[in-house]
Structure 1
Amino acid sequence: MKRFIKIVLSISFIFYLLALVVLLFLGTRGYVWTDLTLMEYMKRSSNFVPFKTISTYIKAIFSGSMNMDIPIKNLVGNFIMFLPMGIYLPYFIKRINVSVFSIAIIILLFVIEVIQLVTKRGSFDIDDFILNMFGALIGFGIWKVKVVQKLLK
């Protein structure tokens, strides 16, 4: 049974990574500034102010000033996108603690945000970073629940 669970988790991890690549780098991102220089693109598509985008989306939800799909997909999607990573990483990297996990996720998310910016396949948004990190930490917390560990170990 343990071998079966390991095979299922390994295969699902590969599909999860492929889905991340498609979502983060290959899908249409809605940016039309591809004719700009990289520096101009970086200025227009970056957000370094924490909670700026999050608060805009929350205000839009309550005021109805935006199609509800947009804030929900962005807030919930960014949160959920890295939640599985919080389960997969500690499963595959034994004896990982929250500090090492957090550093690994921070590096991974920073690299992803920079690649999106440099390749003009997205933006550098600190709020995406915050939501992704929070999702990954919640996933790590789920992993640490004894019932989940007994099931997956």
Structure 2
Amino acid sequence: MMIDYKFPLIIFGIVWGIYRAINIILKMKFSFKRELIKALFAFSVVGIYSVTVFPFPFYTYFDSHLPSPINLIPFASIYGSLHHFYYMVPIRNIGGNILLFIPLGFSLPFRFQIRTFWKVTLLGLITSFVVECCQLFIPMRSFDVDDLMLNTLGTGLGFLLYKLFVQFFSKNLEAMQLKEISKN
């Protein structure tokens, strides 16, 4: 029996919604912006966990004495993906590893007020390294240095998207405030 990545996301979404609703009711405070920031960060972390740990084989035979494959050669699996005969392999492997960490890079500055590219990217690298190390102990998963590079790139891209987002909305906010002042 295999459990795919959607199952933990659904369970977490239900538990998260109940927890946040109870928290809001008890505190009698609600800020849509604050809730959105907390949810974005939490779901990015749970999404990373869900996609990297699942599908997880339950009640499936596997030989636990076989070591997990380890790739320590930079660009080896990227090269292999790019030269695969099926076009979805590079999209899934390369694009998936980048896209998976973009929400983390986008949400870290909002959630923890980390405003420098290098700090956010370093946190993405550390998170990816922890995930890759955990995969050493999970059947049918492997440690891959290319995943580290692609995940870190995704975190950096997420931070750049954060910067563009903040720049875009700060300019629009200033323009709206100027229109209000000119009306008065």
Q: TM-score range by the shorter chain?
A: 0.7 to 0.9
Match of 2:103 among 84, 87, 96: 84
Render the CA deviation track for 1:69-94: whole Å, top value 9, x for unaligned.
Answer: 22211111111000111111111111
Match of 2:80 among 35, 47, 56: 56
Matched residues, number: 139
Q: Give runs of aligned pairs for residues 20-99 of structure 1, distance below 5 A.
A: 20-28=48-56, 34-37=62-65, 40-42=66-68, 45-60=69-84, 65=85, 67-99=86-118
Q: Percent identity?
A: 26
Say if 1:101 and 1:11 are closer, same or farther in 2 by CA, change over 3 A: closer
3-state DSSP class of the match of 1:71?
helix
Q: Which amino acid aligns with 1:147?
A: F
TM-score w.r.t. the length of structure 1 is 0.78
Higher relative contact order at CA 8 Å, sep ≥6: structure 1 or structure 2? 1
Structure 2, unaligned runs of 5 or more? 1-29, 173-184
3-state DSSP class of the match of 1:96?
coil
Larger of the two Rg values belongs to structure: 2
Match of 2:144 among 121, 125, 143: 125
Structure 1 residue 106 corresponds to structure 2 residue 125: yes
Structure 1 outlier segments of 4+, above 6 Å = none
> How far off is 1:150 after superposition?
6.7
